[in-house]
Amino acid sequence: MSAPTSAPEGTLAKLGRALGPKYEVRRVVGSGGFAEVYEVWDKDLERRLAVKVLRPDVAWTSGMIERFQRETRAAARLEHPNILPIHFVGEGEGLVYYAMPFVDGMSLGELLKRSGALPAERALAIIIPILEALDHAHKAGLIHRDIKPDNIMLDTARGRPLLVDFGIARRLDSEAGAALTQTGLVIGTPHYMSPEQALGDPNLGPRSDLYSLGCVLFQMVTGSPPFDGESSQQVVGKHIADPPPAASDVNPKVPRAMSDVILRCLAKQPSDRYQSAGEVIAALESDHRPSTVRSRASAAQAATELLVSGARTAPRTAGRPGGPTAKPRRVGWVVLAIALPGLALGAGALFFRQPTLVFENRLTDMVAVQVAGEERRILPGGSFSLKLERGRRLDLSWQLVSRLGVSLGDTIALAQPRGTVRLAATARPTHGAYFAPVITNETGRPLAITVNAGLAGSMRCGCTVPPGAVRMAIGYYRLFENSTVRAEDDAGHSATFRDLGRQVEAFRGVVGLLFRARDMQ
């Protein structure tokens, strides 16, 4: 949510009438893309509430509202100390809303704006209780789909971090049903959106939340999200195609073990991430075990107080308190003599080991791979490995999954594979070369694109590049030394890039093209 704004008098009055005389609507405290939050006083119980109201100026369909209400009621059944509870869900006076406790504190987003990167122990103090909350929700059949710093509140009154906005989550079980996903809200924030969410996968799972949480933890320890850009589209494109940076490379103070955990959370393929939030907790705690045993609740409380106040924990000392440090034993020649035969056997085992196939997708779009009688769909930058039968021929074929451009694919035969065989979907398959123009439109007008204009392989992309688009992908096309890309606006002006053969990135086939108003003739 953004900073407090002035609310329309009509909405304040309508909410007051919808809630009834037992509640006093005081002010609007925040506004976002789909909802506004109001401070409300509960007269009977003498407590402050935060009531989130779907923005009445958004064109909600009946199916979207029904889904919102179902999912909010499902979220209201969650009971966890680090999940902000939902008291009730309501509808009236043309408004749809739900009520939560009013939190005295700030969001993690606000804290990061004030303090920048946090020390590792302070970041862990916040993120581990949030992971526990997430694990609880996933086991109850809910995913969040919009994890970001602004949806993590720091409750200074009770000393705990809180995960909020489960009201826009999606049910994982059959109760929600496929029909709800087809009419649902478009949920997610570009800087924290998983690749599968960015590609519009309707069957998001818990590992999508783990990717978003990895983005949040990266920002907590480095001061900025893993990917940034000049537009939302550019940021989303990086989530889909660009390898994530290592947090320890951005900030050398980040422990390498923590950086590795974040990298695994940011894997492009959901199958390459941790299986659950509980696994992430175990990985983060493996190198940060407390010197004394505390309950999870007390640890969370101390953690939030640590974060908000800016205090630092005392460094832990290794070894027995007050005792001497144990000296390592010397390794004698007898150990080496025992180890050498084992090393020799290991080398022989490597020579005769079962062959393995590793396949990578180096293209900018998803590919469908047919191998060993099954199909696998691999996101850009993703990969998979497969154990092969020694000495047996295997055929692998892959096909680009894209609605624009030409059909691109390849079939590769493996005669007698040995060791590790690495294959990749690239823009240079065995039967030709292809390229993927990515268009930035600064002309102020929509553009129609023709690839290889004036050549035998001329082809219109069948799409319109809107004004302001940044690095918009339009599919793959045949690549020649003198390949061209021509843009035309609705006023009949055009501009053409020529002789692109040597400018295209070899494996991915990408070439960035900028069209400006002054170039159009």
Q: Which tokens belong to 449?
A: 């694109």
Q: Quote the pLDDT of residue 174.
A: 34
Q: How far, in Å, are 2, 19, 101, 187, 197 from residue 193 at the CA level? A: 19, 35, 27, 9, 6
Higher pLDDT, residue 363 or 177: 363
Mean pLDDT of 32-55: 85
Q: Quote the pLDDT of residue 488.
A: 94
Q: Quote the pLDDT of residue 33.
A: 62
Cα separation of 483 and 126, whole Å?
A: 52
CATH (one of 3.30.200.20, 3.40.640.10, 3.10.580.10, 1.20.1740.10) for 1-102 = 3.30.200.20
**Who contacts 509 (Cβ-Cβ below 8 Å, separation ≥6)?**
363, 364, 426, 427, 428, 433, 434, 435, 436, 476, 479
Q: Which of 33-37, 368-372, 481-485 has the largest mean confidence?
A: 481-485
Mean pLDDT of 475-496: 92
Percent above pLDDT 70 for the chain: 78
Task: List, for residues 367-391, the tens digit of each pLDDT value.
Answer: 899 988 888 888 776 778 888 777 6
Task: With a cut of 60, say whether residue 328 has pLDDT above it.
Answer: no
Task: Give helix 277-285 / helix 206-222 axis angle, nearest 10°.
Answer: 30
For the domain made up of 105-286+300-307, the CATH class stated in words is mainly alpha
Task: With a cut of 50, say whether residue 405 has pLDDT above it.
Answer: yes
What's the mean per-residue pLDDT of the chain?
A: 79
Q: What confidence category does residue 302 fall into, taking pLDDT thresholds of 50, 70 and 90? A: very low
3-state helix, strand and coil shares in percent for the chain, rounded to the nearest 5? 30, 25, 45
The answer to whether 105-286+300-307 and 356-425 have equal CATH topology is no
Q: Which of 270, 316, 61 is nearest to 184 (CA)?
A: 61
Q: Which tokens belong to 317?
A: 């000392």
Higher pLDDT, residue 26 or 60: 26
Model-level pTM greater than 0.85? no
**Who contacts 295 (Cβ-Cβ below 8 Å, separation ≥6)?**
none
Burial of residue 456 (number of CB atoms within 10 Å: 0-12, 13-18, 19+): exposed
Q: What confidence category does residue 353 fall into, taking pLDDT thresholds of 50, 70 and 90? A: low
Task: With a cut of 90, say whether residue 339 has pLDDT above it.
Answer: no
Higher pLDDT, residue 425 or 173: 425
Q: Quote the pLDDT of residue 391.
A: 67
Q: Quote the pLDDT of residue 348.
A: 43
Active site residue ranges: 146
User: Between vectors from CA 233 to CA 230 and to CA 235, what angle results, nearest 5°?
Assistant: 60
Q: Which tokens belong to 375?
A: 């199909």
Mean pLDDT of 394-414: 87
Taking every pair of Cα atoms in the chain, the longest distance, rounded to a whole number of angstroms, is 86
First to last CA, the chain: 44
For the domain made up of 434-519, the CATH class stated in words is mainly beta
Q: Quote the pLDDT of residue 311.
A: 37
Task: With a cut of 80, say whether residue 202 has pLDDT above it.
Answer: no
Task: With a cut of 90, say whether residue 215 has pLDDT above it.
Answer: yes
Q: Which of 3-7, 115-119, 286-290 has the largest mean confidence?
A: 115-119
Q: Quote the pLDDT of residue 273.
A: 96
Mean pLDDT of 154-169: 74
Extended strands (E) in 43-169: 47-54, 88-92, 95-101, 105-107, 142-143, 152-155, 160-163
Domain boundaries, the chain: 1-102, 105-286+300-307, 356-425, 434-519
Q: What confidence category does residue 176 fall into, taking pLDDT thresholds of 50, 70 and 90? A: very low
Task: With a cut of 50, say whether residue 401 has pLDDT above it.
Answer: yes
Task: List, for residues 242-287, the tens digit of each pLDDT value.
Answer: 999 999 999 999 999 999 999 999 999 999 999 999 999 999 988 5
Cα separation of 149 and 163, whole Å?
A: 10
Task: With a cut of 90, say whether residue 106 has pLDDT above it.
Answer: no
Higher pLDDT, residue 300 or 247: 247
Give CATH for domain 356-425. Answer: 2.60.40
Cα separation of 21 and 17, whole Å?
A: 8
Q: Which of 44, 12, 14, 8 is nearest to 26 (CA)?
A: 12
Higher pLDDT, residue 309 or 458: 458
